[in-house]
Amino acid sequence: MALVPFDDRDGFIWLDGAMVPWREAKLHVLTHGLHYASGVFEGERAYAGNIFKLREHTERLHNSARILGFAIPWTSDEIDAACVQVLQANGQTDAYVRPVAWRGSEMMAVSAQNSKIHLAIATWAWPAMFADRMAGIRLDMAEWRRPHPQTAPTASKAAGLYMIGTLSKHAAEAKGFQDALMLDWRGRVAEATGANAFFVFDGELHTPTPDCFLDGITRRTVMALARVNQIKVVERVILPEEIAKADEVMVVGTGAEVTPVREIAGTMFTPGRITETLLTDYEKLVRMSPEDAAKRLAA
């Protein structure tokens, strides 16, 4: 299938408060966010016209910017409304939603205190991230590790933090895997390149403590669904040598949704009851109205 470049598409993008034709949403090559990674973003999905967990994503966008030392000059209400506006302008009900904020081109140096803060929101059709998601995906073990929180702003969904994810995923794909599982700087299990990881041990759902990577919105949603289904959830340190003892493995995120894992670097797994339950319940939840979804998670 031929690639459709992201700079040459029909539609509209919300840029700094105005809806502009897709091909005209541009920035200067000497933009601080491009050179110094002073940008943050969100990944959201719309299902049946509703953007799942929209306010949580918007609030995280604001918080990510604060961690990087800047304030986004639009309120959460304004950003939420703009996300819905772009979705409608592009005639979409099921789509991926990408808000991104960055420092502009007024200053070109490490220090950029007086740079203008920009915000853009785009939406596009994006089906399941992995074509063979139901069968389970194959993960390699990444060579790169998630950094210590005193060496990088790990609580922010900052663009620069995804560099090692890209390197790890490219290396995995070159070997025939779909993604990679990353350890943290201590050698503990962390997450996949863009999704949180869960392991089933003896009927319980275990997940690494997110002390150097994002406590994902989908992660928290899946944990809530597990508790609704009377599945015990355990957040803890997980060591690499424990992986082979897991009965089931899955990765979760806005892009990945709930995706079973059938292999991690030669160790095989079979998606089972807990994975199927959480996958099925998540797919139902995201298509509920926000009110019904909240009731479901509170049940």
Positions marked catalytic: 157
288 and 159 co-located in one domain: yes
Q: Is residue 4 part of a domain?
A: no
> Across residues 193-208, what is the average pLDDT?
98
Q: Is residue 280 part of a domain?
A: yes
pLDDT band at 135 (very low <50, low <70, confident <90, very high): confident
139 and 282 co-located in one domain: yes
Which residues contact residue 80 at a Cβ distance below 8 angstroms, ignoring those fewer than 6 apart? 54, 55, 58
Give the pLDDT of residue 129: 64
Total number of domains in the chain: 2
Give the pLDDT of residue 187: 98
pLDDT band at 133 (very low <50, low <70, confident <90, very high): low
137 and 176 co-located in one domain: yes
Cα dihedral 116, 21, 53, 217 sign? negative
Q: Is residue 7 part of a domain?
A: no
> Across residues 49-76, what is the average pLDDT?
98
Which secondary structure element, helix H or strand E, spans residue 198, and what is its range? strand 196-201
Q: Work out the mean pLDDT of the chain and round it to a whole number.
A: 96
Q: Is residue 68 part of a domain?
A: yes
115 and 157 co-located in one domain: no
77 and 188 co-located in one domain: no
Give the pLDDT of residue 2: 67
The tens digit of pLDDT for each residue in 83-98 reads 999 999 999 999 999 9
pLDDT band at 41 (very low <50, low <70, confident <90, very high): very high
> Across residues 265-285, what is the average pLDDT?
96
151 and 290 co-located in one domain: yes
pLDDT at 1 exceeding the cut of 60: no
Alpha carbon 141 to chain centroid distance? 19
Q: Is residue 267 part of a domain?
A: yes
pLDDT band at 79 (very low <50, low <70, confident <90, very high): very high
Three-class secondary structure assignment of 229-259: CCCCEEEECCCHHHHHHCCEEEEEECCCEEE
pLDDT at 9 exceeding the cut of 70: yes
CATH code for the domain in which residue 186 is found: 3.20.10.10
CATH code for the domain in which residue 22 is found: 3.30.470.10
| Closest residue by Cα to residue 198 from 286, 266, 294, 278 | 278
120 and 137 co-located in one domain: no
Q: Is residue 5 part of a domain?
A: no
206 and 75 co-located in one domain: no
157 and 120 co-located in one domain: no
pLDDT at 131 exceeding the cut of 60: no
pLDDT at 60 exceeding the cut of 90: yes
Of 76, 100, 124, which residue constitutes the final position of a domain?
124
- What's the pTM value of the predicted model, to 2 decimals? 0.95
Task: Indicate the Cα dihedral angle 129, 78, 121, 128, nearest 10°.
Answer: 10
> Across residues 117-142, what is the average pLDDT?
87
pLDDT at 195 exceeding the cut of 90: yes
Of 89, 124, 159, which residue constitutes the final position of a domain?
124
pLDDT band at 127 (very low <50, low <70, confident <90, very high): confident
116 and 201 co-located in one domain: no
216 and 102 co-located in one domain: no
Of 72, 106, 124, which residue constitutes the final position of a domain?
124
Distance CA 285, CA 249 (A): 21
198 and 289 co-located in one domain: yes
Q: Is residue 41 part of a domain?
A: yes
Give the pLDDT of residue 285: 96
Q: Is residue 147 part of a domain?
A: yes
| Closest residue by Cα to residue 25 from 124, 112, 158, 96 | 124
Name the residue range of residue 276's domain. 133-298
Give the pLDDT of residue 126: 87
Distance CA 189, CA 180 (A): 11
End-to-end CA separation in angstroms for the chain: 44
